[in-house]
Structure 1
Amino acid sequence: MDRIDRAILKTLQADGRITTNDLAARVALSPSATADRVRRLQREGYIEGYGARLSAKRLGLDLLVFVEVKLDRTTPDVFDIFARAVGRAPEVLECHMVAGGFDYLIKARVADMAAYRRFLSDTLLALPGVRETHTYPVMEEVKSTDALPL
């Protein structure tokens, strides 16, 4: 990974639809050399995929919530069952096992508080092993990015 690879990654992270010719011009390489580097970065796993960033607001998913989840038992089988079940919940954007006073931190998007109540009762509390939850509705998104610091 050299400075040109980093420049390619930084540019693609900002604009995944940039043409190879424009990318090549930005990183001062030929289009064929740039395309070779992009293919290598993909093959080596630095680039995991491409996609569109959608507007949650335009799609009617105005409420962002973070939920702390405590499990009734912390055994490998309970962790596995919980992870598989939460992976099937489309409202869940992220789920992280954490160290500290609870087991998982979930980030979810729903339409409104009524939709969250349904999600909580029908999905989260129905997940295997869930003992307790604490919800933190987001009042204002100060910063939201998927861009990694390069």
Structure 2
Amino acid sequence: MSQKIADEIDRRILRELAADARITNNELAERVGLSASACLRRLRRLEETAIIRGYAAIIDPAVEGWTMTAIASIRLSRQHDDEIRMFEEAVQGWDEVIECQLVTGARDYVLTVMSAGLDHYERFIKDKIAKLKCVDTIETSFVMNTIKARRS
């Protein structure tokens, strides 16, 4: 169910929270031009309707030893339910995969993969992705630099 944002004030609340989710309600209210109580009511409504789905800390990947990001494009051998399920269930258990998207076009899935370097990524490909019988092709691009990363 898709919820709608009520007005420009809701949009401003969302922009402020996207920039700093730890902002106090009083500071948020001041920035968007509301009283603290009115701001809190709007915030609760945005949470209750799942427009705001949660709050998260953005952790430096290097803390986990992840120093390299790869984009892996995966094509399945067939798009049958059993192969789709096999692939999607496997992805859920791979810590290296921070994002998996089903896409249209020449590939079926695009994965964002974090690794500790080229050797680690090679082991990930050989020991995990390539061992799945449903995978036909794997094409990788390595991220040189992130220019923009939007979190919401």
Instruction: Answer whether TM exceeds 0.5 for this pair.
Output: yes
What does 1:11-90 correspond to in 2, within 5 Å? 11-90=16-95
Q: Deviations over 1:118-147 (max 9, x none)?
A: 111112112351121011111222222224
Count residues with an aligned counterpart. Answer: 147
Please identify runs of 4+ aligned residues in structure 1 that moved more than 3 A: none
- Residue identity opposite 1:23 in structure 2: L
Gaps of 5+ in 2: 1-5
Kept in 2, the 8 Å contact 1:68–1:106? The answer is: yes
Partner Cα distance (2:69, 2:82) in 1 = 29
- 134-143 vs 113-122, greater mean Cα deviation: 134-143
- Given the two structures, how large is their TM-score scaled by the length of structure 2? 0.90
Aligned to 2:112: 107
Gaps of 5+ in 1: none
Q: Deviations over 1:26-83 (max 9, x none)?
A: 1111111111111100111110110111112343211100011111111122212211
Aligned-pair Cα RMSD in Å? 1.3
Percent identity among equivalent residues?
Answer: 37
- Given the two structures, how large is their TM-score scaled by the length of structure 1? 0.92
Partner Cα distance (1:14, 1:142) in 2 = 17
Q: 1:3 is matched with which residue: 3, 8, 12?
A: 8
Q: 2:138 is matched with which residue: 129, 133, 137?
A: 133
